[in-house]
Structure 1
Amino acid sequence: MTTIKRKALSLQEKIEILKVFDEKSQTTNQTQLAAELQLPVSTLRTILKNRVEIKEKYRLGGVQRKKQKIGKFDKLEKVLVEWLHQARALKLPISGPIICEKARKIAESLHITDFNASNGWIDRFKNRNGIVYRQISGESETVAQQDVDTWMATLPELLQNYEPRDIFNADEFGLFFKLMPNKSYVFKGETCHGGKANKERLTVLACANSDGSEKLRLLVIGKAKNPRCFKNVRSLPVTYDAQSRAWMTGIRFIDWLKAVDNHFQIKCRRIILFIDNCPAHPKGVELKNIKLVYLPPNATSKLQPMDQGIIKVLKQGYRTRLIHRYLREMEDPDSKRPLTVHDAILNIAAAWEAIKPETIQNCFKKAGFRNNVVDVVLEEEGEPLILQGFPGYSSIDDNVAPYEIQSIEDLIENVNNTQKEALSDNDEDEDESTPILSNTQALSAVNDLRRYVASLNQSEDALQKLNYIENVVIANASFNQTKISDYFK
């Protein structure tokens, strides 16, 4: 039997081995695959065992490095790499002295006293993380029209191998979720980089395809990991995450990307996803079923479908629901209670579900995605009538940023992944928990709704959905072994 000699493998070679394994693991065992790749079986098993670490090192750079040696100041370097990702996204000039100065500040924040940002250290750091210096173009970033024209010329080629259902756009926006119409003047023009407004905000990520047939589950980021209003809540219509300032960060965005990638792997679909260039959208993320395309910087207001009206309509739907709540509380003061994160989630999810496919098609078309969207005449979405009585209310948080330029302390917190689960200040006035109706109360509410819906035109579909809800309530009552006599108390 021929013995296969061990050899040092670069990070790139290990990534290729993982790709081959993923492709052939269903039909080939590890021994056969090792022989095919001319590797010792033990080497293959070690690579598979360290899959996560290898992919993370690959994401951060250094693909030709063979030994994945961890530096003495590993945490410091991880924070520094995250800062470099952010600086790169902002197109900041980077040099050796700048990196050394930033490293010293990080060491000070981490209370590291024996760190020396020497030339030898920075050379090793650059090699470990695949960092090279490149000259930044001196052309003005304000010249966006040329970028737009170039993009429009190349877009058809990007789309030619994808059906409309497989072309997606995702974007985040900030939301003052507690802001009622009678208080909107307080936050007008607020960009929300702190202060009171920051305590009443959420970040929402929306993603949809170009024919409007698929709106992915919203990602909502709040400040508290487990707010009190989540007590007794067993399911949410969105994906919820928490960050101490309710910002989108690079780490969270990568987690979302990989979850979406896994979703489409299961469906055996390959999609193309367009996103904007921002510090919260790191580059170099390895994905299997998603082709990730970054829109030209400084031109996303013209080129991003979400910015052509999808987010606007979503926020209008949310605000409309808050106005109805506000009017109800005026008529019935006893029904008034603090608006919670859970209330906001239910309302934003309902508004997302209500967006019509035609609205999404129109916005993709306005962004230049014409060749892949059904060529129909689409009407412009107008502002709902009820919002017209509150000028500026639906657009009050248009300037709210969904991310921020993170400080060293923020980056350390992200790397440590020690987000506090304690309630933040904005939760202090929330109810202890979301009130739960009894089965009797739920059935009574369904019957009230049925009588109301029956008085409307074209109510058959709504009545069928109410019947479904009634069946769910009855099934839950049976599961909990509720006695029939309880319904007559």
Structure 2
Amino acid sequence: MTTIKRKALSLQEKIEILKVFDEKSQTTNQTQLAAELQLPVSTLRTILKNRVEIKEKYRLGGVQRKKQKIGKFDKLEKVLVEWLHQARALKLPISGPIICEKARKIAESLHITDFNASNGWINRFKNRNGIVYRQISGESETVAQQDVDTWMATLPELLQNYEPRDIFNADEFGLFFKLMPNKSYVFKGETCHGGKANKERLTVLACANSDGSEKLRLLVIGKAKNPRCFKNVRSLPVTYDAQSRAWMTGIRFIDWLKAVDDHFQIKCRRIILFIDNCPAHPKGVELKNIKLVYLPPNATSKLQPMDQGIIKVLKQGYRTRLIHRYLQEMEDPDSKRPLTVHDAILNIAAAWEAIKPETIQNCFKKAGFRNNVVDVVLEEEGEPLILQGFPGYSSIDDNVAPYEIQSIEDLIENVNNTQKEALSDNDEDEDESTPVLSNAQALSAVNDLRRYVASLNQSEDALQKLNYIENLVIANASFNQTKISDYFK
């Protein structure tokens, strides 16, 4: 028996082997195909096992390189690669001289004195990291159709071992939570780097699965760790975190990822989670029950389900509730009080709860997740009637950056895995504390709601929920040993 020697294969050769396998897999077994290709069977099986990663590397470039060489300035290059990811996520045009200048600054920060950003170095750096220059044509938001087509061809392989309920997408967005229509044109197109707009913003992370059966608890990031409006509040319908500018950061995203990973580990479920390449989404996070997949850069407008309408509908639901709140205050001036972060959290959570599974299914399908979602009719979500009189209002903060732009020093700390962000117990905001109703007032409100709901069609479920709330109020009254006379005050 002839022994076939092992040899190093380039990425291009591995791609060709995968093509041959796809053509002949129905008629030829792996042993026969390995012999035909003059490969050890173990090599063929390894290539097949890693086919998704191989295709992704091929898509990113560097097809002829057989082994990844480590440069002399490995740490510098790692920091530079992270900076490039951040720059491209922000859709900034990058040139060779810009890369060299940034490399020199990183070298200075790392106290490297013998670094020379020569043409030879930059060529080797590009080859090591699969970096290619492309001419930017048209708008910076333009999506390369070739990247979309390549991704669409790869997607079925990524999804083949997952049920629709185990396929998730997550994305963040900025929210001007106090913004009313009469202020909308003040902030139109701004990216919110300071001033009043920044003071009235939140960052929200939403995550849902492809069949719409599971919408994970929203992550809401505000400025203050303990806002005054949280006084007297013992439970929230979201996960709340704080950052001095209300931005998502790499540390917070990793914390969220690990919490979700623990959640599915307890449920003994393995999921696949698709996220974009924004600077706040670090790579290399070790997870047990989540397979993390990064969407192609600059293509999320077509390939990310959240961007196909889920976030849009969520914002519409929030702003519909905001307008109703102000209309109610016009009718009842005595009920008027400042909108707080707590109010915003309750409204955004209610809007998230109201999104229909069909809406989420449609958005996943529109993003190309066709083989793993139930067959639904694609219908565009119409804008709520109350918002139609305010063009652009529901999308006014679409350009708000939800993540932190990291400096070179931050990127170096990330590479060193020593970044620790101190979060102050910031309680200096303008929110008022949340007023607490007495048990008697709460029961009166429940009874008023019950009478209103009973006048509506198909209200049985809502009435049952009101019964649950009433029982909760009564149980709380019993726990606090409320006297019966308190109900007549």
- Report the TM-score, using the length of structure 2 for normalisation: 0.73
Cα deviation for residue 199 of structure 1 reads 1.2
Cα deviation for residue 185 of structure 1 reads 2.1
Distance 1:431 1:158, change over 3 A: closer
Distance 1:131 1:182, change over 3 A: closer
Deviates more, 1:132-141 or 1:432-441: 132-141
Deviates more, 1:124-133 or 1:248-257: 124-133
Structure 1 contact 34–40 (Cα < 8 Å) conserved: yes
1:286 aligned residue: 286
Structure 1 contact 226–423 (Cα < 8 Å) conserved: no
Tell me the alpha carbon deviations over residues 387-436 of structure 1, each in whole angstroms, 9 at most, x when there is no partner. 11222211111111112422357669999999999999998673441111
Cα deviation for residue 53 of structure 1 reads 27
Distance 1:155 1:192, change over 3 A: same
Tell me the alpha carbon deviations over residues 247-280 of structure 1, each in whole angstroms, 9 at most, x when there is no partner. 1111111111111111111110011111111111
Distance 1:107 1:24, change over 3 A: farther
Deviates more, 1:44-53 or 1:219-228: 44-53
Deviates more, 1:143-152 or 1:189-198: 189-198
Tell me the alpha carbon deviations over residues 136-171 of structure 1, each in whole angstroms, 9 at most, x when there is no partner. 999999561001111111111111111000000001
**For 1:372 and 1:54, how far apart are their aligned partners in 2?**
23
Cα deviation for residue 334 of structure 1 reads 2.3
2:109 aligned residue: 109
Distance 1:355 1:121, change over 3 A: same
**For 1:474 and 1:27, how far apart are their aligned partners in 2?**
71
Structure 1 contact 170–274 (Cα < 8 Å) conserved: yes
Distance 1:139 1:326, change over 3 A: closer
Distance 1:273 1:335, change over 3 A: same
2:441 aligned residue: 441
**For 2:36 and 2:263, how far apart are their aligned partners in 1?**
31
Structure 2 contact 55–154 (Cα < 8 Å) conserved: no
Cα deviation for residue 477 of structure 1 reads 0.5
> What is the SS of the residue equivalent to 1:184?
helix
Distance 1:47 1:336, change over 3 A: farther
Structure 2 contact 52–157 (Cα < 8 Å) conserved: no
Structure 2 contact 318–351 (Cα < 8 Å) conserved: yes
**For 1:21 and 1:483, how far apart are their aligned partners in 2?**
78
> What is the SS of the residue equivalent to 1:427?
coil
Deviates more, 1:125-134 or 1:29-38: 29-38
**For 1:265 and 1:23, how far apart are their aligned partners in 2?**
38
Distance 1:371 1:25, change over 3 A: closer
1:363 aligned residue: 363
Cα deviation for residue 281 of structure 1 reads 1.0
Cα deviation for residue 34 of structure 1 reads 38
Structure 1 contact 227–423 (Cα < 8 Å) conserved: no
**For 1:241 and 1:24, how far apart are their aligned partners in 2?**
53
2:305 aligned residue: 305
Tell me the alpha carbon deviations over residues 198-257 of structure 1, each in whole angstroms, 9 at most, x when there is no partner. 111111110000000000000111111111111111111111111111111111111111
Cα deviation for residue 5 of structure 1 reads 34
Cα deviation for residue 484 of structure 1 reads 1.4
Structure 2 contact 224–428 (Cα < 8 Å) conserved: no
Tell me the alpha carbon deviations over residues 325-381 of structure 1, each in whole angstroms, 9 at most, x when there is no partner. 111122222222111111111000000000000000010111111111111324321
**For 1:448 and 1:318, how far apart are their aligned partners in 2?**
24
Structure 2 contact 243–423 (Cα < 8 Å) conserved: no
> What is the SS of the residue equivalent to 2:154?
helix
> What is the SS of the residue equivalent to 2:426?
helix
Distance 1:36 1:460, change over 3 A: farther
Distance 1:29 1:316, change over 3 A: same
Distance 1:415 1:153, change over 3 A: closer
Deviates more, 1:94-103 or 1:21-30: 21-30
> What is the SS of the residue equivalent to 1:94?
coil
Distance 1:119 1:155, change over 3 A: closer
Q: What are the ranges of 5 or more consecutive residues in structure 2 without an aligned counterpart?
A: none
1:423 aligned residue: 423
Distance 1:16 1:246, change over 3 A: farther
Alignment of 1:264-413 (within 5 A): 264-408=264-408
Distance 1:38 1:418, change over 3 A: farther
Distance 1:87 1:242, change over 3 A: same
Distance 1:315 1:272, change over 3 A: same
Alignment of 1:186-335 (within 5 A): 186-335=186-335
Structure 1 contact 210–361 (Cα < 8 Å) conserved: yes
**For 1:22 and 1:368, how far apart are their aligned partners in 2?**
22
Q: What are the ranges of 5 or more consecutive residues in structure 1 without an aligned counterpart?
A: none
**For 1:112 and 1:399, how far apart are their aligned partners in 2?**
38
- Report the TM-score, using the length of structure 1 for normalisation: 0.73
**For 1:370 and 1:121, how far apart are their aligned partners in 2?**
44
Tell me the alpha carbon deviations over residues 462-487 of structure 1, each in whole angstroms, 9 at most, x when there is no partner. 11100000000000000011111211
> What is the SS of the residue equivalent to 2:319?
helix
Structure 2 contact 227–427 (Cα < 8 Å) conserved: yes
CA root-mean-square deviation: 8.9
Cα deviation for residue 191 of structure 1 reads 1.9
Distance 1:46 1:254, change over 3 A: farther
Distance 1:303 1:116, change over 3 A: closer
Tell me the alpha carbon deviations over residues 2-47 of structure 1, each in whole angstroms, 9 at most, x when there is no partner. 9999999999999999999999999999999999999999999999
**For 2:410 and 2:377, how far apart are their aligned partners in 1?**
47
